[in-house]
Amino acid sequence: MFPARRMRRLRRTAKIRSMVRETVLTKNDLIYPIFVDETIEERVEIASMPAQYRLPLSEVRDEALEVVSLGIPAVILFGIPEHKDEVGSSAYSSEGVVQRAVREIKDEVGDDLVVITDVCLCEYTSHGHCGVVKEGEVLNDPTLELLAKEAVSHAEAGADIVAPSDMMDGRVAKIREALDDSGYESVAIMSYAAKYASAFYGPFREAAKSAPAFGDRRSYQMDPANANEALREVYLDIQEGADMVMVKPALAYLDIVAKVKERFRMPTAAYNVSGEYAMVKAASQAGYVDEKSLVLEVLTSIKRAGADMILTYHAKEVATWLERGE
Ligand code: PBG
C-alpha cells in the first residue's frame, strides 16, 4: 500500500520502462496485404487508403523485394481480375491474377517471403458475393467445391499458406482435404475464423472492387454483437484442420482476440482492416493525431490482446520505424 507501494518508480526513465514492458512489437508480427490488379499497367493509389496501391503484375517482383528488404516476413495477396462471372471462374484458373502473382513472387524471393493467398470469390464474381448465388441466396455447399479448387490452384502456384475469408460452413475441412488429395499436405491454412460483417471493410471493397451488387454479407459473416459464437466458429475451424486462426476486424474486436487466444492457444492473427487504416490516415492527415504514435499504440494493443500476427496496411511504415529503433 501507498506509500510503500509506488507504481511510478518503474515508469521513471525510458530504460526502466523498457525493462518492464510486457508487449514488444516486432517485424515478425507483421503481414502486409497486397492488391494485384490485372486490369492496369501502372500502380494506382487507392483513394480511401492513402499510400496503398493496386499493383499491376509487372510490379509484384519489386514489391516483394521491397517487403523482404524491410524485414517483413509475409504478405497476403488479393486479386482484381480482368474477367468476372457468376461463379468467379478467374478465382481458380491457373492463369488467374493471384496465381500469376504468386509464381512471380516465389520465383523472385523464394522462401525469403511467406506468401499467403486470400481464398474467396467476391473479387471474382459479377455479383460480388463470396459464394455461388441462386435466387438471391448465397449457397453454402456448392461454394465449397469452388473454394477448394481456388485453394489448390494457389498451392500449385506456390502459396505457402491459404487463407479462406468467405465464411462458408465447412470450407476449412473441404480445403484441407483437397490440398492433401493434390499432394499439398504441407501448405498451411490460416482461416478467417471469426470474421464479422463489418462496416470497416468499406475501403477494401473499393480497392478490390468487391462490394456486393445486392444485399450485404450478413447471411455469412458474423453479427458484431456476438462473442460466444466467435468461439464456436474458431473451435470448428480448428477441428476442421486450420493451422492458424484469425479474428477480423481487430480494433473493435480486441475482446474476441483475447478470448480466442486464451481459449485455444492457437497461432492467432488479427486483421487491422482497411477502415481502421483509413481512419488513422484521415485523422493524421488532418493533423488531429500523431500518426506514428497512434499506429504503434494500435498495433501494440492488438498484440497485447493476444494476436501473434497482425495483418496491417501500416506494415511497411512500421518496419521502417522499428528498424530505426523509433
Ligand atoms: C474478402 C475479404 C474482405 C476483406 C478481406 N478479405 C472483404 C469483405 O469481406 O467484404 C477485408 C479486408 C479489409 O477491409 O482490409 N471476402
Take atom 7 of ligand 1 and give the residue whose Cα is closest: 201
pLDDT of 279: 98
d(CA 280, CA 290): 9
Give the number of the atom of ligand 1 that is nearest the alpha carbon of residue 78: 6
Q: Which three cell numbers stand for residue 243?
A: 493451422
Domain extents in the chain:
23-324
Residue 16 C-alpha to ligand 1 middle, in angstroms?
Answer: 41
Per-residue pLDDT of the chain (326 residues; tens, 9 = 90+): 999 999 999 999 999 999 999 999 999 999 999 999 999 999 999 999 999 999 999 999 999 999 999 999 999 999 999 999 999 999 999 999 999 999 999 999 999 999 999 999 999 999 999 999 999 999 999 999 999 999 999 999 999 999 999 999 999 999 999 999 999 999 999 999 999 999 999 999 989 989 999 999 999 999 999 999 999 999 999 999 999 999 999 999 999 999 999 999 999 999 999 999 999 999 999 999 999 999 999 999 999 999 999 999 999 999 999 999 87
Q: Is 46 in the pocket of ligand 1 (CB under 6 A)?
A: no
CA 177 and chain centroid, separation: 23
Tens digit of each residue's pLDDT (9 = 90 or more) over 232-250:
999 999 999 999 999 999 9
- C-alpha cell belonging to residue 149: 479448387
pLDDT of residue 326: 76
Pocket of ligand 1 contains residue 165 by CB under 6 Å: yes
The answer, yes or no, to whether any atom of ligand 1 lies below 6 A from the CB of 274, is: yes
What gap in Å lies between CA 151 and CA 139, rounded to an integer? 19
C-alpha 34 to ligand 1 mean position (Å): 12
163-211 residue pLDDT tens:
999 999 999 999 999 999 999 999 999 999 999 999 999 999 989 989 9
The CATH architecture of the domain made up of 23-324 is Alpha-Beta Barrel (3.20)
Identity at 223, one-letter amino acid code = D
> What is the Å distance from ligand 1's center to 195 Cα?
9
CA-CA distance, 278 to 301, in Å (whole number)?
Answer: 18
Atom of ligand 1 nearest to the CA of 202: 14
Distance from the alpha carbon of residue 89 to the mean position of ligand 1, in angstroms:
19
Cβ–ligand 1 contact at 35 (below 6 Å): no
Give the nearest ligand 1 atom to 277 CA: 15
User: Which sequence positions are flagged as catalytic?
Assistant: 195, 248
Predicted pLDDT of residue 262: 98
- Label each residue of the chain as H, E or C: CCCCCCHHHHHCCHHHHHHCCCCCCCHHHEEEEEEEECCCCCCEEECCEEEEEEECHHHHHHHHHHHHHCCCCEEEEEEECCCCECCCHHHHCCCCHHHHHHHHHHHHHHHHCEEEEEECCCCCECCCCCCEEECCEEECHHHHHHHHHHHHHHHHHCCCEEEECCCCCCHHHHHHHHHHHCCCCCCEEEEEEEEECCHHHHHHHHHHCCCCCCCCCCCCCECCCCCHHHHHHHHHHHHHCCCEEEEECCHHHHHHHHHHHHHHCCCEEEEECHHHHHHHHHHHHCCCCCHHHHHHHHHHHHHHHCCCEEEECCHHHHHHHHHCCC
203 alpha carbon – ligand 1 mean position (Å): 9
Non-local (6+) Cβ contacts of 166 within 8 A are: 119, 120, 121, 122, 130, 131, 143, 147, 192, 220
Instruction: Assess whether the C-beta atom of 204 lies below 6 angstroms from ligand 1.
Output: yes
Q: Answer for the pair 155, 182: CB distance below 8 angstroms, yes or no.
A: yes
